[in-house]
A = this chain, B = another copy of it.
């Protein structure tokens, strides 16, 4: 297992995102806002694996909260690995929390960590809805890598 994989051991969903030069800001680092976009891409990757995008059925995810800790600056060129998993013990009737790691290929270290609060939402009735049974089952089968 390489260093990067060691760093996100136990995370079920992993994507790599190439940093764009234009995502740096006037401080000449990756802008703080871009990490939140990367977390979004991590969420969407996991929801796509689960087939829980809300396109095929009326029940889909809605974002209630994001939180991000910035640990180290990122500069172009770099590739950021975003590892995402359901936070242990976070499932409740109407949702769950995702935990994200952002890891720099250049630095071989964690550059940011984050959480996403996710709520199950009925796009037909425009109200929160209990998590579907099939999804709870999928989450519980989440591999410990």
A41 touches B22 (CB 8 A): yes
Instruction: Let me know if B17 and A18 touch, CB within 8 A.
Output: yes
Give the contacting residue for A70; candidates B26, B28, B37, B65; CB below 8 A.
Answer: B65
Give the CA-CA distance A133 to B44 in the complex, in Å. 43
User: Looking at A18, A22, A31, A117, which has the most chain B CB atoms within 10 Å of its CB?
Assistant: A22
Across the interface, which residues of B come within 8 angstroms of A17, CB to CB? 18, 20
Q: What CA separation (Å) do A69 and B119 show in the bound complex?
A: 12
User: Contact string, A55-81, partner B, CB cutoff 8 A, digits 1/0?
Assistant: 000000001111111100000110000
A67-B70 in contact given A17-B18, A33-B36, A33-B40 (Cβ < 8 Å) = no
B67 and A63 form a contact (CB under 8 A): no
> Would you list 6 pairs from A and B whose C-beta atoms are within 8 A, ordered by A residue?
A17-B20, A22-B40, A25-B25, A26-B76, A33-B33, A67-B67
Q: What are the 4 closest A-B residue pairs judged by CB atoms, nearest first?
A: A24-B26, A21-B44, A67-B67, A26-B28
